[in-house]
Amino acid sequence: MIEEDDQRGFSEQPMARFDAATDMAVAFYRFALQTYQYRCAISGLSVSPLDENLHEKLEVVLIHPREFGGELEIGNVLVLESRLAQLFSTGVVSVADNGTLTVARPDEVSSEREDVISPGAALLLPEDPLLRPSAKNLQFHRLTIARYAA
């Protein structure tokens, strides 16, 4: 039983497991941004790592979302401009296994984005093949997200 003067009580100590998970997610996010050189894989928009609005301009997007069993691994991410991230997450645009852009629903691409979204254009991916999106994740996105997200 805890006594009133017991100093151990219910203090405001952070929960270690949540801190570790948060630290890991932040480290992964930074690693992904560094891997893509702080640049959007579709548009090529480059943002300084010191930019205060970095997280508003670039997003680390999971190709195979975790809610569908995707893993938090570098082969399952793309770094995209926020506006393009929404198009990718909803399946309007996708990526072929050869690293080129595909547009599943061209009618949903706004006229202001048409200059950036060019079907067949090569994405700006990391030079190291081990750090590029895996074919299985790209295939999942095309067959599940892009096909059924309408």
Q: How do residues 36-73 score in pLDDT, each as one tens digit?
A: 999 999 999 999 999 888 888 999 999 999 999 999 99
Q: What is the pLDDT of residue 115?
A: 77
Whether this prediction's pTM lies above 0.75 is answered by yes
Which of the four pLDDT bands, split at 50, 70 and 90, describes residue 5? low
pLDDT tens sequence across 89-114: 999 999 999 999 999 888 888 876 77
Amino acid 120: pLDDT: 93
Residue 138, C-beta contacts closer than 8 angstroms, at least 6 positions apart: 63, 94, 95, 96, 97
Structure tokens belonging to residue 120: 């067949």
What gap in Å lies between CA 77 and CA 87, rounded to an integer?
15
pLDDT 10s digits, 108-134: 888 767 778 889 999 999 999 999 999
Reading the block at residue 41, the tokens are 């894989």
Whole-angstrom distance, CA of residue 135 vs CA of residue 32: 18
- List the alpha helices (DSSP H) in the chain: 16-35, 54-57, 82-89, 135-140, 147-148
